[in-house]
């Protein structure tokens, strides 16, 4: 096709997008995965800026929503299956696998992922699933901690969080000093970064439901992480996403699992209180 013919086609696409942009509400649909109904809308906890917390699933295109709703079609389930293999594989000097102590994850890890981050009394800081895995590997298995975003770290985290599929997110902020970290995370959520001068809240609170280019801005919830993303064709961990968002403001990125990003994880996870864990969610 010549450029002369293509031009009107692109013009039409542009026009359609403009038309769609006018109707930018999250969809009013039910999400059921493996016969488990997901809570995608929940009354917000006290002190939340919104009345209702909304799963990012409600903001995605129909094809993306359908892919997440069908575990056979969801490419993120490959990471979950890989995580199951790792769960049962002996590693480290102690000759143990995860299963050596925790047996069947379907029982021992049920609903666990919905309660993290928790307070790590020894380290005196919050601990998420990734760091809890590392702690087990080092202290109990005699294995090396994972490098950030190592394939095994993302797969095992996905597998463990998937055992909470459908369970509403519920952290215990009275655990240790989590409340202080929540405060710190809240401050960061509203702090503008980078040359573009955006805070998390600029997009996910002030502009929620609107479009940035083709991207429908959600509340930026953490309940589906790690998620499968079509545009990179792979899994994306929560701290990878945090870093990506901060990079997009043209700022230096904090390190994964740094104090800043752990505080942000505590606060952002709390903002999704009541939403079902959807790991592995599917995004565009």
Partner 1 sequence: MKPGVWGSAAVALLVANMAYAAEVAPNDVKVEDGTVAQSLTGNPGDPEMGAKALANRGLGNCLACHAVSALESEQFHGDVAPPLDGVADRWQPEQLRAIVVDAKKVFGPESVMPGFYSLEVGINVRKDLVGKPILTAQQVEDVVAYLSTLKEGD
Question: Rule CB under 8 A: is residue 21 a binding residue for partner 1?
Answer: yes
Marked catalytic residue, from 69, 245, 246, 256: 245
Nearest alpha carbon to residue 159 among 228, 105, 98? 105
State the binding site for substrate.
Answer: 241
Question: Rule CB under 8 A: is residue 1 a binding residue for partner 1?
Answer: no
245 has catalytic annotation:
yes
State the Cα–Cα distance between residues 140 and 229, nearest whole angstrom: 33
- Total of chain residues touching partner 1, rule CB under 8 A: 36
Question: Rule CB under 8 A: is residue 59 a binding residue for partner 1?
Answer: no
Question: Rule CB under 8 A: is residue 106 a binding residue for partner 1?
Answer: no
* DSSP assignments along 119-159, one per residue: EETTTTEEE-HHHHHHHHIIIII--PPPPTT-HHHHHHHHH
Angle, helix 151-162 to helix 129-136, in steps of 10 degrees: 110
Question: Rule CB under 8 A: is residue 148 a binding residue for partner 1?
Answer: no
Between CA 52 and CA 117, with CA 58 as vertex, the angle to 5 degrees is 65
State the Cα–Cα distance between residues 112 and 114, nearest whole angstrom: 5
State the Cα–Cα distance between residues 35 and 10, nearest whole angstrom: 41
What does the per-residue mask of binding to partner 1 show for 198-217, with x meaning CB under 8 A?
xx--xx--xx--xxxxx--x
State the binding site.
Answer: 98, 101-102, 136, 200, 203-204, 241, 245
What does the per-residue mask of binding to partner 1 show for 221-240, with x meaning CB under 8 A?
--------------------
Phi and psi at 265, nearest 5°, equal -60, -40
Question: Rule CB under 8 A: is residue 43 a binding residue for partner 1?
Answer: no
Stretch that binds partner 1, among 43-51, 146-154, 219-227, 247-255 (CB under 8 A): 247-255
State the Cα–Cα distance between residues 64 and 112, nearest whole angstrom: 27
The catalytic site residues sit at: 245
Contact residues for partner 1, defined by CB under 8 A: 7, 10-11, 13-15, 17-18, 21-22, 24, 191-199, 202-203, 206-207, 210-214, 217, 246, 249-252, 254
């Amino acid at each position: 096709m010549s450029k002369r013919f293509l031009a009107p086609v692109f013009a039409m696409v542009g026009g359609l997008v403009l038309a769609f942009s006018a109707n930018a509400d999250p969809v009013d649909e039910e999400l059921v995965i493996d016969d488990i109904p997901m809570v995608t809308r929940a009354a917000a906890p006290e002190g939340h800026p919104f009345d209702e917390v909304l799963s990012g699933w409600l903001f995605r295109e129909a094809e993306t929503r359908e892919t997440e709703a069908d575990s056979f079609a969801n490419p993120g389930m490959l990471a979950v299956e890989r995580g199951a293999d790792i769960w049962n594989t002996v590693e480290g000097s102690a000759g143990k696998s995860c299963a050596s102590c925790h047996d069947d994850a379907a029982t021992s890890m049920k609903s666990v992922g919905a309660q993290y981050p928790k307070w790590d009394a020894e380290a005196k800081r919050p601990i998420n699933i990734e760091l809890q895995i590392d702690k087990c590997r080092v202290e109990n298995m005699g294995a090396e901690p994972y490098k950030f975003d190592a394939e095994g770290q993302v797969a095992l985290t996905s597998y463990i969080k998937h055992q909470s599929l459908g369970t509403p997110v519920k952290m215990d902020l009275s655990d240790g000093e989590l409340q202080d970290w929540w405060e710190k995370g809240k401050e960061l959520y509203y702090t503008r970064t980078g040359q573009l001068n955006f805070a998390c809240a600029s997009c996910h609170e002030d502009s929620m439901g609107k479009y940035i280019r083709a991207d429908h801005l959600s509340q930026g919830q953490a309940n589906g992480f790690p998620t499968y993303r079509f545009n990179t064709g792979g899994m994306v961990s929560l701290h990878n996403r945090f870093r990506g968002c901060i990079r997009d403001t043209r700022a230096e990125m904090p390190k994964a699992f740094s104090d800043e990003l752990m505080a942000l994880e505590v606060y952002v996870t709390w903002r999704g209180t009541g939403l079902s864990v959807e790991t592995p969610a599917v995004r565009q």
